[in-house]
Structure 1
């Protein structure tokens, strides 16, 4: 027994050494290229026009257009079945699959639980089919002004703008469609694929799908996260392009990823948005959880082949989509505005969850806070220095030997008491719960999962056994609804001993990460619920785990507490379950810079609640980089400082008094703007429009914004420009639009439509409020956002050239689901002709609609207002108050004096009017 134990320990030591070698830096050779991925290599070798599909038997059935697709050169081949459905708001859904009546070897996997139930009921019943082009095409109504057209020979689908006669978006216009049907294996077939030391059995043979999609009137395309690269997707193939790898969508645990690469990271959302000055925006989404590779094709690429069967206008962007498995289940969004496309996409996959107020404030995290004494020291130091924070995080070392739902009782002997001390200050704790379960016969969770048969299976049908942080581990099969429910139950206070209502959850390593697996993940031929191969569901594994965890936090109490779950892996629909972050970044200026296009891209694809580790996960940031990161991170939707355990400690007070003050100022800016951020999260929750936005989303006709990914909008009112270089003295800032902008810290006014070379200081990064907007702030700083709940508001009114402005404020209890029954305050503030009015936007919906708040407005700042006015009249109280000069901010740095209506003391929940006289 002793010899066996020693042998195990020696082998485990060798494994850890090899893994440590891996994690020190990203090793390109550990991951497959397109040339090493047979389905990608095959698809990329196809030439335009090689698809000779013919659409036959085109008809209307059960309100949908249906047809058969058959290869022209093989009329006896098994046809594919096409279904085209039309939905409200200009959404077109195209499905193509094998014909079930021809008894394929198994049913191909269609991803469940991503399309929201409400979308199904939005289908429009097609009354008739129109014949076009002398019978060579069929068309159906899509929306007012748009028609969906199917060309029969060769097969092509496109959406047409009936007003202009121009196309909007199309599929298979270049004849690149290919669909490899499942096969029964014969003795002569050898379908195995090997990469490095791993062999994939592929029991049903090649089953890939590929096709081209074209966006018309587009100048750029965006989306398909997750990767570290520019916001506007650069071409990967074509004339004058140094051919590179396609954009890869395959969820992977990538340590120390490089800052500019099309390589996929932790999440995959196969949704692309186009935008151009003339036509606006359109979008395309492929609901498919298998590995996907996507080429963006440079203009003129199709001219390289004489096989291209159709001449298309040059003002478009062509893309080529390739997937290893699944079905064609695609959605076309016609826009035409960028916000329309986001609303259409989230009508399919769901709008982002409404977060709790505490979760959008500042989070303090490290791998790992050592013990309860360390937690108490960090917490008390924030108080000593008057730096607010809301959440303290514990990484894997807080557990008993990496057994999740447990505590190391030597280091954390009193977890409930520790959490209560934080909760007494309005603070919360987050602990990590990963999907790998330690295979330990004495661990209750493993014993239960083993007994119930709840683990993912290997290709032979045995429980899959891989290596992760605990050593030998297995993974719950969360594709199965029964297992998701079982997993959710583990978060009850009875099951998760030591947890309290102020404890929330972090899902890491849920790609899934498997240290000894192919490409550090699960083998593609592993088996899930219903006989689904892992290759078919891989990109959605973390999604289902995230879903089960969020459901568990809802179930653990009275069902009225909004969950907070941070997930590293993500898929389409993840926005309904919580936040994500950009993973294991590095303390480098380039990683600071690339955080913005990464977060903007996530927002464009539904994931509004995202952020990057402030300071960088790996490495030790110089003080200047750390300060700049806090100044930028204060505007991320998710604002968390985090670091690897091998880095030096980097709490805000460890870099000298001056840097501590600068970091505190940055955090104070975030806390002051929490009312504005919370209002934006509610907008995202109701419309799908993200909290932080590319400039072109707010200025869709301004071409200078289309490829700008160093600046961004926070909502429609604030523009932020990061500082991405060391010892910067100046910043080039483009302020779009015709109206002016006001410097957020000084109130200095700048004309729109101009690029400025601005002097920058260490105190802040350039940030501006747009003329014509009203932003709500809270200027009293507390220990946490929870303690600010009843604090008064400041309204900052930035007047435009017409001396007008407007904005909104949303308030609820900050934590429960009662807002869904109408328990909230939603006000619109309009300033015009010297008069500020407050209008109730909350619909009257019975007795449950009112949310009570005694909060009031304590200051109104008027930017762009002449200082000649001396007083203001408040109605209906008929009270007159003075107008005076007051500070723009109550920060450490000296603030200029601006025109201020001081102490109007009107309640935020009531109708009132304030007239400047």
Structure 2
């Protein structure tokens, strides 16, 4: 029955494809291999390889070319997927447990189906022109498209031809067609994801000609793509990150506040700045040293990669003194070794540099000086570079910032050991992150790395890469596209995309802009103010009012540490992003596919950042999957409604889903002071929410793979409301190799307007006044037993 429907769908829609046939694709025959199907055509061979029932890989190997099996993105080993192949005079059908493929013989045409509905089809398929090899697909008229990496174009990227070439855009604002992460990924409102599994540069043409075509263009390499489907957006991302790898759980301290600027010139300046944070009781967890740690000047010193001892006389002591205060030290590094740097001769002698065609170091000029480039793909270069990182890590450096890793200047004539600059440009940052990740695994196996990178590739999340959105302008125009950029990257697996809070480029001093950017930063993956030093990025150098507002935002960031860390754990297990677009809630609501100025922070927060100056009101749509409560006033907003919300100076509009459990922490100066023994959980009672659940994840915050090692605690919370009573169940799960740190959770019941008759705690009846505090119901949960039950009986 299924195959009959597939054929019927083809004949109904088939006429629209007749004009786009490729005469080189004349069907010859097919062969079934162990877990794949090959289909021969006149000028090449297709290979259809299921990885799971919801992931199908298609490769085309032109006649005369060998199969290239090397993927820089994919790590999943194909599972055994049951399928059958049938053939008649008109077609060949691959009928699987999930994705089905219908191959029409004449004219040759490929269609993909999931749940008996067409997902996508090739149009012209593979072909070549004078400059590129291409794969072309059909689009439906109303499809909305996302992907292509980090860009500022609006959420719907259909209509653009996106260049695939990682490149910085200094001082960008509302529009940036090209940024540091360009990924060969397309996602559709029709709930599929296409990943073009190829490294060389090229383009993604998302219907720029307005002819309902999607085209991948490349200068060379593999003609391979994976089609990924799923019932929900969450499932699609789960499948994609299963294919390419999931983000490793970062150290807990990265969810704190960073002190950062371009840049600190001396050890004295670093220590004095951190002292100001302490004096003002503003929480802080890390300090980032930009390029002045290895040179007095911006130009001429890159590649020294060692502390300048007159300005940083005692780096080891500085790092240790900061550590004693709970502050981690992060250093910037770049992959360029200038001919004027202290390590130039060593780099030449060790043969670690990319070369010209004669095999000599390729040198060229760029902003920072005359330079060579580390060949990150060369074993000797990786060893040389890692040894520098290893020695500094032994000194106490806790994290690394990899800057200019597109690489910023990468001449096409330059040669790497595995190919030309243009063939590997977009995976350079990917392999730089891999070097650090694997180095830590080998030499510091008990530490989670912090790897901040300005460029990467599909799958870089599995190396723990933390991306940021580049040199954004310090302006309202620079702030406006930041949610879009982070939401788009979360859809493409890199869920920690964040921005330089306050903006980076320029010397604009706008206190309202600064505060609004930091308030938004509370609900983005990494809280890191950073800017050129003409105007300080650190809150301790702001005026009294601005400092106070910034401090309020930072303190909220720390209060939400248990919630945020749990999000990070969930991301590491499922691939679901921390920032999520509204259409996750209502996939059938096409209007939501355009929205980026309101988003979900995890499952339970709805965030509407203030992205323009002097804003007093903001129109907000509340997803229809539940009711929502103002985080500050507890005012209720009905799901599926739109409301005009007043904008307050001390916070951005923030709402909590009805039925949510929000775990929070006590105030702290640094995450080193985080005390998990007593936590607060706020349950947002909603009359219309009959069943809900929540989770709190905890571990030591630094051991890699703590969950798989059994070094964790999870508190699982459930609610059931039947109209007469609210029943809560709290259960703690302790890993087999974990000590129990969470001793007490205080359950705060919000929005409970109904009169309470009794409170039953583990079956024992109490009057409500036993648990009333300032007019609210607060119930302590001591973990003397694995499961605690609470029944709130209404009058």
TM-score (norm 2): 0.90
Q: Distance in 2 between matches of 1:908 and 1:677?
A: 26
CA contact (8 A) 1:584 1:617 kept: yes
Matches within 5 A, 1:667-686: 667-686=554-573
Matches within 5 A, 1:351-430: 351-400=246-295, 401-430=301-330
Partner of 2:146: 222
Partner of 1:826: 714
Partner of 1:33: none
CA contact (8 A) 2:82 2:97 kept: no
Q: 3-state SS of the aligned residue for 1:386? A: coil
Call closer, same or farther: CA 1:879–1:524 in 2, change over 3 Å. Answer: farther
- Render the CA deviation track for 1:144-187: whole Å, top value 9, x for unaligned: 4x411222333332212454xx311222x2x263146xxxxxxx
Residue 675 of structure 1, CA deviation: 0.8
- Render the CA deviation track for 1:321-375: whole Å, top value 9, x for unaligned: 2122211110001223111111111111101111110012221210101211111
Partner of 2:184: 270
Residue 129 of structure 1, CA deviation: 2.2
Matches within 5 A, 1:425-464: 425-440=325-340, 442-443=342-343, 446-464=344-362
Q: Distance in 1 between matches of 2:615 and 2:131?
A: 52
Partner of 1:169: 120
Call closer, same or farther: CA 1:212–1:691 in 2, change over 3 Å. Answer: same
Partner of 2:11: none
Residue 764 of structure 1, CA deviation: 0.8
Q: 3-state SS of the aligned residue for 1:570? A: coil
Match of 1:115 among 74, 84, 98: 74
Partner of 2:28: 56
Partner of 1:12: none
Residue 55 of structure 1, CA deviation: 3.1
Q: Distance in 2 between matches of 1:798 and 1:380?
A: 39
Call closer, same or farther: CA 1:670–1:898 in 2, change over 3 Å. Answer: farther
Residue 258 of structure 1, CA deviation: 4.0
Partner of 1:27: none
Call closer, same or farther: CA 1:417–1:880 in 2, change over 3 Å. Answer: farther
Q: Distance in 2 between matches of 1:513 and 1:406?
A: 22
Match of 1:899 among 776, 786, 791: 776
Q: Is 1:875 equivalent to 2:762 in the alignment?
A: yes
CA contact (8 A) 2:659 2:684 kept: yes
Partner of 2:104: 151
Call closer, same or farther: CA 1:449–1:137 in 2, change over 3 Å. Answer: farther
Partner of 2:791: 915
Partner of 1:794: 680
Q: Is 1:136 equivalent to 2:90 in the alignment?
A: yes
Partner of 2:220: 325
Partner of 2:49: 85
Q: 3-state SS of the aligned residue for 1:641? A: coil
Residue 142 of structure 1, CA deviation: 3.2
Partner of 1:560: 446
CA contact (8 A) 1:675 1:810 kept: yes
Call closer, same or farther: CA 1:874–1:380 in 2, change over 3 Å. Answer: farther
Residue 910 of structure 1, CA deviation: 3.8
Residue 123 of structure 1, CA deviation: 4.6
Q: Distance in 2 between matches of 1:572 and 1:769?
A: 32
Q: Distance in 2 between matches of 1:885 and 1:328?
A: 65
Matches within 5 A, 1:386-785: 386-400=281-295, 401-440=301-340, 442-443=342-343, 446-468=344-366, 471-481=369-379, 483-493=381-391, 496=392, 500-514=395-409, 522-530=410-418, 532-557=419-444, 559-577=445-463, 578-619=465-506, 620-645=508-533, 647-778=534-665, 780-785=666-671
Q: Distance in 2 between matches of 1:441 and 1:742?
A: 57
Call closer, same or farther: CA 1:598–1:773 in 2, change over 3 Å. Answer: same
Call closer, same or farther: CA 1:431–1:162 in 2, change over 3 Å. Answer: closer
Residue 549 of structure 1, CA deviation: 2.1
Q: 3-state SS of the aligned residue for 2:790? A: strand
Call closer, same or farther: CA 1:834–1:125 in 2, change over 3 Å. Answer: closer
Q: Distance in 2 between matches of 1:428 and 1:795?
A: 29
Q: Distance in 1 between matches of 2:670 and 2:342?
A: 40
CA contact (8 A) 2:228 2:240 kept: yes
Call closer, same or farther: CA 1:159–1:385 in 2, change over 3 Å. Answer: same
Partner of 2:12: none
- Render the CA deviation track for 1:701-731: whole Å, top value 9, x for unaligned: 3334221110110111110001111111111
CA contact (8 A) 1:705 1:736 kept: no
Q: 3-state SS of the aligned residue for 2:282? A: coil
CA contact (8 A) 1:51 1:176 kept: no
Q: Distance in 2 between matches of 1:158 and 1:501?
A: 55
Residue 782 of structure 1, CA deviation: 1.2
How many residue pairs align between the two structures?
Answer: 762
Q: Distance in 2 between matches of 1:871 and 1:676?
A: 30
Match of 1:96 among 60, 65, 69: 60
Match of 1:284 among 190, 194, 198: 194
Residue 899 of structure 1, CA deviation: 2.1
Alignment root-mean-square deviation, CA: 2.6
Call closer, same or farther: CA 1:111–1:459 in 2, change over 3 Å. Answer: farther
Q: 3-state SS of the aligned residue for 1:849? A: coil
Match of 1:255 among 163, 170, 174: 170
Q: Which consecutive residues of structure 1, in runs of 5 or more, have no partner in the other structure?
A: 1-46, 71-78, 181-205, 237-245, 303-316, 515-521, 843-847, 887-896
Q: Distance in 2 between matches of 1:877 and 1:476?
A: 68
Partner of 2:8: none
Q: 3-state SS of the aligned residue for 1:859? A: strand
Q: Distance in 2 between matches of 1:162 and 1:613?
A: 43
Call closer, same or farther: CA 1:267–1:783 in 2, change over 3 Å. Answer: same
CA contact (8 A) 2:758 2:766 kept: no
Q: Distance in 2 between matches of 1:125 and 1:706?
A: 35
CA contact (8 A) 2:60 2:126 kept: no
Q: 3-state SS of the aligned residue for 1:453? A: coil
CA contact (8 A) 1:870 1:882 kept: no
TM-score (norm 1): 0.79
Q: Distance in 1 between matches of 2:266 and 2:742?
A: 39
Partner of 1:208: 132
Q: Distance in 1 between matches of 2:642 and 2:224?
A: 44
Q: Distance in 2 between matches of 1:159 and 1:464?
A: 46
CA contact (8 A) 1:436 1:468 kept: no
Q: 3-state SS of the aligned residue for 2:607? A: strand
Partner of 1:69: 41
CA contact (8 A) 1:742 1:748 kept: yes
Q: 3-state SS of the aligned residue for 1:901? A: strand
Call closer, same or farther: CA 1:873–1:320 in 2, change over 3 Å. Answer: same
Q: Which consecutive residues of structure 2, in runs of 5 or more, have no partner in the other structure?
A: 1-18, 296-300
Q: 3-state SS of the aligned residue for 2:461? A: helix
Partner of 2:16: none
Q: Distance in 2 between matches of 1:884 and 1:913?
A: 15
CA contact (8 A) 2:386 2:435 kept: yes
Q: Distance in 1 between matches of 2:341 and 2:147?
A: 45
Q: Is 1:839 equivalent to 2:739 in the alignment?
A: no
